[in-house]
Amino acid sequence: MRPAETRTFIAGGNLDVPDVSPRSWATNWPLHLVVAGTTLLGLVAGPGPVPTLLVLLWLVVYAAAHWAVVLRGLLGAGAVSGILLGAIALALLAFSHQGIHLFAAFMLMWVLLSSYRTGLVATLLLATGMTLVLLPDGLDRGPAGVAVVLAVGLGSALFSILMASWIWQTELLSHERRELAEQLAATVARLEDTRTELLALEHRRGADEEASRFAAEIHDTLAQSFTSITMLSQAARQTDAAGRADAVPSALLAQIEEVSREGLAQARALIARTQPPLDLAAGLDRLAADLEERTGVRTRVDASGWSPVATRAEVVLLRTLQEALRNIERHAEAATVRIHLTREDAVALLEVADDGIGVDTGLPTAGYGLVGMRSRLEAEGGALHLRSSRGGGTTLRASLPVAPEDGPSGGTGHQGDGAAAMPSVPGHPEVPRAR
């Protein structure tokens, strides 16, 4: 059962506060202790059977109200129980002059009734009833006794109203804070959803722009190169069909080769632009950590003298190290490996040394992957040197000419507007310049 919401009036304003909550009443142990204490005192101090019966009736009504509201969810039973408990408290005051039950009754008016206004009316009625019950004794004592009775009634009502108002205002503020917290959480969730959607849209927009830019670059570079190759090939076939001199087809073939090389360089440059920047020093650390984790070989990296270079050169060095570490893992039986990466002017130097069993440098080395490493380095103008002896470990030293990092590297790139510039072929004005 969820607590109902009711319109109440505090300090002249319309305010929403929670109604009687079965769960809150079921766990209101201070109230239960007050009722139990007043019942026990009433039974002990009861002067006769009537007050005792009234105390027992008080307990039965309270238990019935608890059963009806908490277990059955009948919120209306709370108001009926409040009226009955107030009447029993007044009866106990009249028959045995026990006022302790009135203390509990003033509390119960605010718990069992459904709104601040009904609690206020019930409190005033209970205070009026208490005053009327005590008034005969006050009249017997004269004006002073009447004044005391009126003061007790008025004071009880004011104290109950002030305490209840403070409690209800506190509950109201708690209720408003809960609502604000829920609204804030909902707003944060909506903002997070909006942020996620905006990020997705931005990602899609960036991907679309990159695809458009990439397509335009392909059109301006590779497509023009392919067009030139096609036209030159057609011109070569026409020359061959006409039986012209061999010098002209040779010139055509040379230009086809030149355009093809430019197209290859442009393709490499485009691919390099799409790859993320390579952090070579971090890559060496990862490879060393992987080797040590897999094999237990103690591996140390020194890249203190390194500064970034073009991506293509860093890829060649990284592939060289990968192959070297693979050879060490398979053949060296080493306990330690040292990797040193540095740069001296325009030359990158990579040295990998181990304390393994070594190799005979006079034997063929194709099985150790050295041929592939040497070919890769020499293709970029570098060199590979190997120093080793049986039982004395192996030191591999790779050198590679490099340029400072100034953007993606992948070849000669493209010139001018990015097209492969094609001069006119002598004797073939029908072959135009590629654009």
| pLDDT score for 70 | 58
Compute, in degrees rounded to 10, the torsion defined by CA atoms 353, 359, 362, 364: -100
Residue 173 has pLDDT above 70, yes or no: yes
Residue with tokens 């003033």: 106
For the four alpha carbons of 399, 403, 407 and 408, in that order, the dihedral sign comes to negative
Mean pLDDT of the chain: 73
pLDDT tens sequence across 366-377: 455 788 888 889
CA atoms within 13 A on the CB side of 71: 6
Q: What is the mean pLDDT of residues 202-224?
A: 75
pLDDT tens sequence across 48-74: 676 777 777 777 777 777 666 655 556
Q: Which structure tokens are listed for 70?
A: 């908490």
| pLDDT score for 297 | 92
The pLDDT confidence band at residue 300, using thresholds 50, 70 and 90, is very high
**Residue 305 or 426, more confident:** 305
pLDDT tens sequence across 379-397: 889 999 999 888 889 999 9
**Residue 166 or 412, more confident:** 166
Distance between start and end Cα atoms, the chain: 80
